[in-house]
A = this chain, B = another copy of it.
Amino acid sequence: MRFYGYFRSSSAYRCRIAFNLKGIRPETEFVNLRDGVQRLESFRRMNPQGLVPALDTGEGVLTQSLAIVEWLDETHPAPPLLPPDAIARAHVRAFAQIIACEIHPLHNLRVLNHIKQAYGQDQDGADAWCRRWIGEGLAACEAIAAARTHAGAFTFGDTPGLADICLIPQMFAADRFGLDLQPFGRLREIRAACDALPAFAEAHPAKQPDAV
């Protein structure tokens, strides 16, 4: 199994946490997105979409972090990243999707480049754009997490799962763009619980060999 990632990509970060929670160490290749390595012919031979993260399982090249994490959970069931009950699974997936479908897409690199080029925004303007969408999305996450009065240490219970796998990289991005996380008390508690686990700590962007 060979994993293609980039230290600062939120979606690669999600996959790294999932691999660590499962105790799997794929071979890893670092793809420098800032230099455009993902667009090179050599990379596109492996993944025509030119995207990270990508996972070459040996049977096929998988893309999209949530699809990769669900594949990992189906093929390596212990420890589970989703609860067994269908309704509970839907709540966890919905929380993950608030992040993956409503927050993260708005602050990825191509979008920030576009609002700079097409709308004349400088870095401060781009950061303000990011803070707006991350703040709105994390407020929804906080409301959901805080409403779980019988919650364990993690978003949905006593063990970390798909929701936490998405939340922690999103909070890292929030810090990067200067969002004040003070209002998100429950999310900060969850982050403290995750930070204490090597699976999360070792997946942190700053710990990756390609970090600059």
Closest Cβ neighbor of A108 among chain B residues: B102
Indicate how many identical chains form the complex: 2
Chain A residues with CB under 8 Å of chain B are 48-49, 57, 59-60, 62-64, 66-68, 70-71, 74-75, 86-87, 89-91, 93-94, 97-98, 100-102, 104-106, 111, 114-115, 118-119, 121, 129, 132, 140, 143-144, 147
Report if A62-B49 is in contact (Cβ < 8 Å); known contacts: A100-B97, A101-B104.
no
Q: What's the Cα separation between A66 and B102 when bound, in Å? A: 13
User: Smallest distance from the beta carbon of A177 to chain B beta carbons, Å?
Assistant: 16
Q: Are A90 and B115 in contact (CB under 8 A)?
A: no
Closest Cβ neighbor of A136 among chain B residues: B110
Q: What's the Cα separation between A147 and B49 when bound, in Å? A: 12
A49-B143, A119-B119 provided; 17 other pairs, C-beta below 8 A? A48-B143, A57-B87, A62-B90, A62-B94, A63-B94, A64-B97, A64-B101, A66-B101, A67-B90, A67-B91, A71-B86, A71-B89, A74-B86, A101-B101, A101-B104, A105-B105, A106-B111
Report if A105-B114 is in contact (Cβ < 8 Å); known contacts: A70-B90, A91-B62.
no
A68 touches which of B64, B90, B114 (Cβ 8 Å):
B90
User: Smallest distance from the beta carbon of A1 to chain B beta carbons, Å?
Assistant: 12
Closest Cβ neighbor of A139 among chain B residues: B49
Question: Which chain B residues border A147 with CB–CB below 8 Å?
Answer: 48
Would you give 27 A-B contacts (Cβ < 8 Å), ordered by A? A48-B143, A48-B147, A49-B143, A60-B87, A60-B90, A60-B91, A62-B87, A62-B90, A62-B91, A62-B94, A64-B97, A66-B93, A67-B91, A67-B93, A67-B94, A68-B90, A70-B89, A71-B86, A71-B87, A71-B89, A97-B100, A100-B101, A102-B105, A105-B105, A105-B106, A115-B119, A118-B129
Q: Are A94 and B48 in contact (CB under 8 A)?
A: no
Q: What's the Cα separation between A74 and B57 when bound, in Å? A: 25
